[in-house]
Amino acid sequence: MKWKHKDLLGINLLSKAEIEYLLERGDYFREFLNYSPKKMKYGEGYCLVNFFLEPSTRTRVSFETAGRLLGMEVVNFTTEISSFQKGESLEDTAKTLSRMKFDVLVVRHHQSGVAEYLAQLLPLHVVNAGDGMREHPTQALLDLLTLQRKFGYFPGLKIAIVGDVLHSRVARSLTLGLKKLGAEVFLSGPPTLLPPVMEHLGAKIIFPVEEAVKGVDVIYLLRIQKERQEAGYFPSIREYAHFFGLKEKWLNKKNGGPFIMHPGPLNRGVEIGYSLTEESFSLIEEQVTCGVAIRMAVLETLLQGEKQ
């Protein structure tokens, strides 16, 4: 496929065929990851900078690993020891990085729209690793890859996303991706964190959670942040865990479903119990491996243009 985008900013901007292409390449890299040694030469001579202005472990390490496995040089920008601390603006910092002639800039920022802004500002390839409450396209793609490898199809697949949908870029990107591929998406959680306008994403809001998860193939649990309780969206962690955390009774072990997914990091004992993740119906660990694979696919695809 001839790739026409300079950047990867959001699932919203991708066509169904483009998503399918990335999943196909992701699947290839996922197989590739099963065997060592696993160094490739495709990315040799290209440089990637991880420009993360919000805390992240798995996404940053995942991009770094993906870049290195492709043979790229990878530099991590950290805010603690940067001139960002000295008050340099986002624009100036990003321009400086660009002038160092990186080929790919992976950005995470707490404001929605920053990835798009940098993509317009800079000539290099920008990959959105999460912008505010808007999009987190590689998370959605890795989730889609996990689902495709498990189920092999999307039309008719039923997924319930449970939790803080309002503040979740993961929920936004994943819902958009699933809808483009023909899956059915149900959203549930505390009404304060799931206003009716979220149906604009194309998903159906269902209360209570017990109803939303009935008969689904996958329950996708969102991470709940302690700050949301402090900001008054729900009264207490124990109440959240009791009503919105995964329940044994939502699982139908006889029929082997539904499967459980979570973008991580887990709040053990809150949205998910202590024992449930390691069981056979959990796809959480597979999501992490698919994360490296899909980021390899994204980087490979963006570098295609460079090579031509």
Partner 1 sequence: MKKILIKKGTVVFPQRGVLQDADILVEDGLVARVGKGIEDTQACPVNASNLLVGPGFINLHVHLREPGRETEENLWTGSRAAARGGFTSVVSMPNTHPPIDNPLLVRYLLLRAKEIGLINIFPAGAITVGLEGKEMAEYGLLKEAGVIALSDDGRGVQDARLLYLAFQYAQYFNLPFILHEEDEGLSRGGEVSEGKVAALLGKRAIPRVAEESLMARDLVLAFRTGARVHFTHLSTALQVELLRWFQKKMPVSADVTPHHLLLTEEDVLQWGSEAKVKPPLRSLEDQKALKEGVKEGVISILASDHAPHPLEDKSLSFSEAPFGISNLEIAVPLYAKALIEEGIINWVELWEKLSYNPALFLGLNNKGILEEGKDADITIVDPGTRKKVKVSDFESRGKNCPFENWSLLGWPAYTIVGGRMVMAEGSIVEDEFC
Task: Tell me, by CB under 8 A, how many residues bind partner 1.
Answer: 15
CB of 236 to partner 1, least distance (A): 6
* Residue with smaller CB distance to partner 1, 215 or 235: 235
Least distance from partner 1 to the Cβ atom of residue 281, Å: 26
- Binding to partner 1 (CB under 8 A): which residues in 209-268? 232-236, 238-239, 242-243
Looking at the Cβ atoms of 179 and 247, the one nearer to partner 1 is 247
User: Does residue 84 interact with partner 1 by CB under 8 A?
Assistant: no
Does the protein bind partner 1 through residue 207 (CB under 8 A)? Answer: yes
CB of 234 to partner 1, least distance (A): 7
Positions in 125-144 near partner 1 (CB under 8 A): none
Q: How far apart are CA 151 and CA 28, in angstroms?
A: 17
Please give the residues from 16 up to 55 whose contact with partner 1 meets the rule CB under 8 A: none
How far apart are the C-alpha atoms of 189 and 167, rounded to whole Å?
Answer: 12
Q: Report the nearest approach of partner 1 to the CB of residue 168 (Å).
A: 17
Nearer to partner 1, 166 or 283 (CB): 166
Strand partners, 153: none
Alpha-carbon dihedral of residues 129, 135, 136, 142, nearest 10 degrees?
A: -140
208 binds partner 1, rule: CB under 8 A: yes
- Taking CB under 8 A as the criterion, which residues in 173-202 touch partner 1? 190-192, 195
Two structure tokens written together for 123: 């000539």
Residue 256's contacts (CB-CB under 8 Å, 6 or more residues apart) are 280, 281
State in angstroms the smallest separation of the CB of 191 from partner 1: 5
| Closer residue to partner 1, CB minimum distance, 32 or 243 | 243
Q: How far is the CB of 231 from partner 1 (least distance, A)?
A: 9
Q: Is the Cβ of residue 49 or residue 205 nearer to partner 1 in the bound state? A: 205
- Minimum separation from the CB atom of position 1 to partner 1 (A): 44
Question: Of the two residues 26 and 190, which places its CB atom closer to partner 1 in the complex?
Answer: 190
Least distance (Å) from partner 1 to the CB of residue 237? 10
Our CB check for partner 1 shows the closer of 183 and 241 to be 241
In the bound state with partner 1, the residue whose beta carbon lies nearer, of 155 and 232, is: 232
Q: For every residue of the chain, which 3-state class applies, written as one string?
A: CCCCCCCECCHHHCCHHHHHHHHHHHHHHHHHCCCCCCCCCCCCCCEEEEEECCCCCHHHHHHHHHHHHCCCEEEEECHHHCCCCCCCCHHHHHHHHHHCCCCEEEEEECCCCHHHHHHHHCCCEEEEEEECCCECHHHHHHHHHHHHHHHCCCCCCEEEEECCCCCCHHHHHHHHHHHHHCCEEEEECCHHHCCHHHHHHCCEECCCHHHHCCCCCEEEECCCCHHHHHCCCCCCHHHHHHHHCCCHHHCEHHHCECEEECCCCCCECCCECCCCCCCCCECHHHHHHHHHHHHHHHHHHHHHHHHC
Interface residues toward partner 1, by CB under 8 A: 190-192, 195, 207-208, 232-236, 238-239, 242-243
